[in-house]
Amino acid sequence: MTTKGSGNRMGDVFRSIVVPLDGSAFSLQALPAALGLAGPAQAAVHLVYVHEPPVSPVALPWEPVLEPHIASVLVAGMDRYLRELADRIRARRRLDVSATIRYGRVAEAIAGYAREAGANLIVLTTHGRGGLSRLWLGSVADELLWIADIPVLAVRPARRSQGLGRERRFRHVLAPLDGSDLAEQALAPAVVTARLAKARVTLLRVVTPHLAIARPAPVTRLDRADLVRQRREAEDYLRGVAERLRQEGVPVTTRVVASGDPARAILRSAAAGRADVIAMATHARGRLGRFLRGSVCDKVLRGASRTAVLLTRPRVAESESTRLARS
């Protein structure tokens, strides 16, 4: 599919999927989601573990350092674990599965390996216990979500692992849009996900109510005329986007909500509609087009306790990139 102002960077399917694992039961919960998409697409699955050696042989008091021989044993164990896991997946499904060990800064190494493998999707959990009990959320997963140049599907793990015998199926994809070309670039991976999972898509637009000063008294009131205008424009915009998707056979509905907190409105809409995935671009038009890290996307990612989040870092034209940098 091709959306306004953007080209499809992935084709019609996910051809190659990277799944970062750290040996924990938490990180393993990314596999049901990855296999649920890889199966229908017959995509290659790349299991990868990254060992990050200490920067300095002298550790700070709170930073334990692994001795070289202990580190080598850890890496050998992870290599064996990944290969056995790959064998189990291949035995159950007719998929091309590889196991890889990489070294370096974890997020950078994963992003680099994804480029080398020609991957067009990374699937990982937002919690995981890395070496020395590090939490991935707020470090590895968080950093990867903002540096990867392909879509990243972040899955919040459950308390109990589903194991490898059960694929995770997505039935409803929620795609928030703000009217910008950058936000629309999240539609391509959202639609690919929906097609593979045979899911429906809901296009969401959040409009912000404004206050007006009432005369003659110096009091404020809701500017209902402005809200009606915003709703009408949002409905017209979503109707046009939905029509393009329907022409390609995608089941689509639209929804417009009013809220002063877009992130909360998105999360509430996802919960009300029982969405399995929230698909968003990491850039959008908020605050003069500035990068939304720490804003809407970040709040949605951290607030989606039961919903996977599919984040896409869209391509920005050179002129647009310059404008964003200045704003």
Among 50-54, 92-96, 176-180, 204-208, name the one with the lowest average pLDDT: 50-54
Question: What's the one-letter identity of residue 224?
Answer: R
- The string of pLDDT tens digits covering residues 59-72 is 555 455 555 667 78
Q: Which of helix, strand or coil describes residue 199?
A: coil
What is the second-level CATH architecture of the domain 172-326? 3-Layer(aba) Sandwich (3.40)
DSSP 105-143: SHHHHHHHHHHHTT-SEEEEES--B-GGG-BSTTTHHHH
Domains 16-155 and 172-326 belong to one CATH topology:
yes
Q: Which of helix, strand or coil describes residue 214?
A: strand
* Spatial separation of the C-alpha atoms in residues 64 and 194, rounded to whole Å: 44
**Over pLDDT 90: what percentage of the chain?**
51
Q: Are the C-beta atoms of residues 190 and 201 closer than 8 Å to each other? A: yes
Mean pLDDT score, 188-201: 94
Any idea which residue has 């409905």 for tokens? Answer: 235
What is the second-level CATH architecture of the domain 16-155? 3-Layer(aba) Sandwich (3.40)
What count of Cα atoms within 13 Å lies in the side-chain half-sphere of residue 189? 29
- The string of pLDDT tens digits covering residues 139-174 is 677 788 778 889 999 998 776 665 665 778 899 999
Residue 127 binned pLDDT confidence (cut-offs 50, 70, 90): low
Domain assignments of the chain as residue spans, ordered by start: 16-155, 172-326
